[in-house]
Amino acid sequence: MIKSTVELALNEQINAEFHSAYLYLSMSAHFQSSGLIGYANWMRIQFQEELAHAARIFDYVNERGGRVRLSPIQEVQVEFLDIVDVFEKTLAHEQMVTGRINKLMDISIEENDHATKSFLQWFVDEQVEEEGNVEQILNNLRLIKGEGQGLLMMDREMQQRVFINPFISKG
């Protein structure tokens, strides 16, 4: 049975993952309306990843005998200055998510909940990758000043990204 403090924190994280998904879908819509189809695709994949994260935590709470309690999703930003602004906000958001995951890990350690600590390790590692990917995109955008042929080349590259659910086995 999952401890109530861990259950509460995981329920908050489920909501935060849905909020992240909603934010990335908003960013995808922004890019779509700007004609940046590749960037729209990249954010749409982020949306799908966040939904998968929420579903995995949802399943984990249930597997541990807890009770999932969904709450309303906070409104997200829909207007952005430019493409660099979007990715600066994306990086800041991912850094906030990293802080949330670290806090979850702290709670599981404080509660001596080894199962949750083990479960969360994947999310800790995932956040390192998430921040690194966004930082690389942001660095490239800054190099090209978020415009011109470089922007179009990156947009084409972003169209190649596909969603692979990390929680579904390939066997």
- Is 131 domain-assigned? yes
The model's pTM is: 0.94
Structure tokens at 80: 């952005």
Of 90, 11, 6, which is closest to residue 46 (Cα–Cα)? 90
Return d(Cα 115, Cα 98) in angstroms, integer: 20
- Is 107 domain-assigned? yes
Return d(Cα 50, Cα 47) in angstroms, integer: 5
Structure tokens at 51: 């939904």
Return d(Cα 148, Cα 137) in angstroms, integer: 15
pLDDT in tens, the chain (171 residues): 899 999 999 999 999 999 999 999 999 999 999 999 999 999 999 999 999 999 999 999 999 999 999 999 999 999 999 999 999 999 999 999 999 999 999 999 999 999 999 999 999 999 999 999 999 999 999 999 988 999 999 999 999 999 988 888 655
- Is 169 domain-assigned? no
The counts of H helices and E strands in the chain are: 5, 0
Return d(Cα 123, Cα 98) in angstroms, integer: 9
- Is 154 domain-assigned? yes
Amino acid code (one letter) for 27 = M
The predicted pLDDT at position 22 comes to: 97
DSSP string, 68-93: ----PPPP-----SSHHHHHHHHHHH
- Is 164 domain-assigned? no
Give 119's contacts (C-beta < 8 A, 6+ positions apart): 60
Domain that holds residue 84: 4-158
The predicted pLDDT at position 36 comes to: 97
**What is the tally of structural domains in the chain?**
1
